[in-house]
Chains A and B, each alone.
Chain A
Amino acid sequence: MHELSVTESILNIAKKHAVKANASRVTDIHIVIGALSSIVDDSVQFYWDIITQETICAEATLHFKRVPAKLTCQDCGHTFDIQDELSPCPICGSIRVKVVGGEEFWLESIEIEREGETA
Chain B
Amino acid sequence: MTSENVPVVESIMNANDQVAMMNRKILDDAGVFAINIMASPGSGKTSTILRTIEALAPEIRIAVIEGDTAPVTIDSDKVKALGIPAVQINTGGSCHLDAPMFNRGLDQVDLSNVDLLIIENVGNLICPAGFMLGSHANVVIASIPEGDDKPYKYPRIYRGIEVMIINKMDLTPYVDFDMDYFRKGVQILNQDVIFFNISCKTGEGVPEWTNWLKNRIKQQKEKAK
Contact = CB atoms under 8 A, between A and B. Distances in A.
Real complex partners, A and B? yes
Interface of A: 1-2, 5-6, 9-10, 12-14, 17-18, 21, 23-24, 27, 31, 36-39, 69, 71, 74, 85-88, 95-99, 103, 105-115, 117-119
A21 B94 contact: no
A1 B6 contact: no
Contacts of B12: 6, 9-10, 13, 31, 105-107
Interface in B5-48: 5-16
A38 B9 contact: no
A1 B94 contact: yes
B93 A9 contact: no
A69 B190 CA distance: 13
Contact of A88 (B1, B96, B156, B184): B184
B1 A2 contact: no
Contacts of B94: 1-2, 5
B10 A2 contact: no
B205 interface: no
Interface string B179-207: 00000110111110000000000000000
Interface of B: 1-16, 93-96, 98, 126-127, 129-130, 151-152, 154-156, 159, 184-185, 187-191
B127 A118 contact: no
Contacts of A10: 12
B4 A37 contact: no
A60 B152 CA distance: 35
Given A74-B191, A87-B188, A119 B10 contact: no
Contacts of B5: 109-111
Contact of A37 (B130, B151, B154, B191): B130
B98 to A, nearest CB: 7
Contacts of A118: 1-2
A95 B3 contact: no
A62 to B, nearest CB: 12
B192 to A, nearest CB: 10
Contact of A115 (B1, B93, B159): B1
13 contacts: A1-B94, A6-B12, A6-B13, A17-B8, A18-B6, A36-B159, A86-B151, A108-B8, A110-B8, A111-B6, A114-B1, A117-B1, A119-B2
